[in-house]
Structure 1
Amino acid sequence: MNLKQLSDVLGLSQTTVSRALNGYPEVKEETRRRVTEAAERHNYRPNTRARSLATGRARAIGHVIPVVSKHEMVNPIFSDFIAGAGETYSASGYDMVLSIVRDEDEERAYRDMKSKGSVDGIVLHGPRVNDPRIEMLLDIGLPFVSHGRASGVQLEYAWLDVNNRRAFQRATEFLLDLGHRQIGLINGFEDMDFAARRRQGYEVALAERDLTPSPHLMSSAEMTEGNGFRAAQTMLTGDNPATAFLVSSFIGALGVRRAIEDAGLQMGRDVSVITHDDALSYLRNGEDVPIYTATRSSVRDAGARLAEMLIRQIENPGAPPEHVLLEAELMLGLSTGPVKG
Structure 2
Amino acid sequence: MNLKELARKLDLSPTTVSRALNGYPEVNEATRERVAAAAKRYNYQPNTRAIRLATGRAMAVGHVIPVMTRHEIVNPVFADFIAGAGEIYSRNGYDMLLSVVPDDNEERAYRELKSRGTVDGVILHAPRMKDERIGLLTDLDIPFVVHGRATGSPLPYNWVDVNNRRAFQRATEFLLDLGHRRIGLVNGLEFMDFAIRRRSGYEDALAARGLSADPAIMVSEEMTETAGHRAVRDMLKQPQPPTALVVSSMIMGLGARRAIEEAGLRMGRDVSVIIHDDELSYLRNGEDVPIFTATRSSVREAGRQAADMLLSIISGREGGPRELLLEAELIIGQSTGPCRG
TM over 0.5: yes
Moved more, 257-266 or 29-38: 29-38
SS in 2 for 1:338: coil
Provide the C-alpha distance between the structure 2 equivalents of 1:275 and 1:321, rounded to a whole number of angstroms.
32
Provide the C-alpha distance between the structure 1 equivalents of 2:204 and 2:141, rounded to a whole number of angstroms.
38
The yes-or-no answer on 1:20 pairing with 2:17 is yes
1:197-239 CA-partner distances (Å, limit 9, x unpaired): 0001111111112211111101011000000000000000121
Amino acid at match of 1:274: I
Moved more, 138-147 or 20-29: 20-29
Amino acid at match of 1:221: E
**Matched residue, 1:322:** 322
Provide the C-alpha distance between the structure 1 equivalents of 2:35 and 2:328, rounded to a whole number of angstroms.
43
Report the CA distance between 1:281 and its aligned residue. Answer: 1.1
**Matched residue, 1:282:** 282
Task: Output the aligned Cα RMSD.
Answer: 2.6
Provide the C-alpha distance between the structure 2 equivalents of 1:102 and 1:213, rounded to a whole number of angstroms.
36
Amino acid at match of 2:301: D
The yes-or-no answer on 1:302 pairing with 2:302 is yes
1:265-280 → structure 2 map (5 Å cutoff): 265-280=265-280
Moved more, 158-167 or 60-69: 60-69
% identical aligned pairs: 63
Provide the C-alpha distance between the structure 2 equivalents of 1:272 and 1:31, rounded to a whole number of angstroms.
55
Contact 2:278 2:285 in 1 (8 A): no
**Matched residue, 1:120:** 120
SS in 2 for 1:81: helix
Amino acid at match of 2:77: I
Provide the C-alpha distance between the structure 2 equivalents of 1:30 and 1:188, rounded to a whole number of angstroms.
46
Provide the C-alpha distance between the structure 2 equivalents of 1:335 and 1:30, rounded to a whole number of angstroms.
50
Contact 1:127 1:148 in 2 (8 A): yes
Provide the C-alpha distance between the structure 1 equivalents of 2:219 and 2:136, rounded to a whole number of angstroms.
32
Number of aligned residue pairs: give it: 338
**Matched residue, 1:254:** 254
**Matched residue, 1:156:** 156
Report the CA distance between 1:327 and its aligned residue. Answer: 0.8
1:53-202 → structure 2 map (5 Å cutoff): 53-202=53-202
Report the CA distance between 1:147 and its aligned residue. Answer: 0.4
Provide the C-alpha distance between the structure 2 equivalents of 1:35 and 1:145, rounded to a whole number of angstroms.
27
SS in 2 for 1:151: coil
Which ranges of structure 1 fall in alignment gaps of 5 or more residues?
Answer: none
Contact 2:156 2:321 in 1 (8 A): yes
Moved more, 16-25 or 167-176: 16-25
Contact 1:313 1:321 in 2 (8 A): no
Contact 1:21 1:35 in 2 (8 A): no
Contact 1:81 1:303 in 2 (8 A): yes
1:58-105 CA-partner distances (Å, limit 9, x unpaired): 111111111212110111111111111111111112111111111111
Provide the C-alpha distance between the structure 1 equivalents of 2:302 and 2:62, rounded to a whole number of angstroms.
17
Report the CA distance between 1:28 and its aligned residue. Answer: 9.8
Larger Rg: 1
CA spacing shift, 1:301–1:33, aligned 2, 3 Å: closer
The yes-or-no answer on 1:339 pairing with 2:339 is yes
Which ranges of structure 2 fall in alignment gaps of 5 or more residues?
Answer: none
Amino acid at match of 1:157: Y
Provide the C-alpha distance between the structure 1 equivalents of 2:202 and 2:219, rounded to a whole number of angstroms.
13
**Matched residue, 2:215:** 215
Contact 2:3 2:17 in 1 (8 A): no
Contact 1:185 1:218 in 2 (8 A): yes
Provide the C-alpha distance between the structure 2 equivalents of 1:321 and 1:39, rounded to a whole number of angstroms.
30
Please give the TM-score of this superposition, normalised by the length of structure 2.
Answer: 0.91
CA spacing shift, 1:109–1:339, aligned 2, 3 Å: same
Provide the C-alpha distance between the structure 2 equivalents of 1:34 and 1:330, rounded to a whole number of angstroms.
39
Provide the C-alpha distance between the structure 1 equivalents of 2:145 and 2:192, rounded to a whole number of angstroms.
17
Provide the C-alpha distance between the structure 1 equivalents of 2:324 and 2:25, rounded to a whole number of angstroms.
29
Report the CA distance between 1:11 and its aligned residue. Answer: 12
Contact 2:6 2:39 in 1 (8 A): no
Provide the C-alpha distance between the structure 1 equivalents of 2:170 and 2:334, rounded to a whole number of angstroms.
18
SS in 2 for 1:269: coil
Provide the C-alpha distance between the structure 1 equivalents of 2:134 and 2:312, rounded to a whole number of angstroms.
19
Amino acid at match of 2:218: M
Provide the C-alpha distance between the structure 1 equivalents of 2:32 and 2:267, rounded to a whole number of angstroms.
61
Contact 1:188 1:222 in 2 (8 A): yes
Provide the C-alpha distance between the structure 1 equivalents of 2:284 and 2:11, rounded to a whole number of angstroms.
53
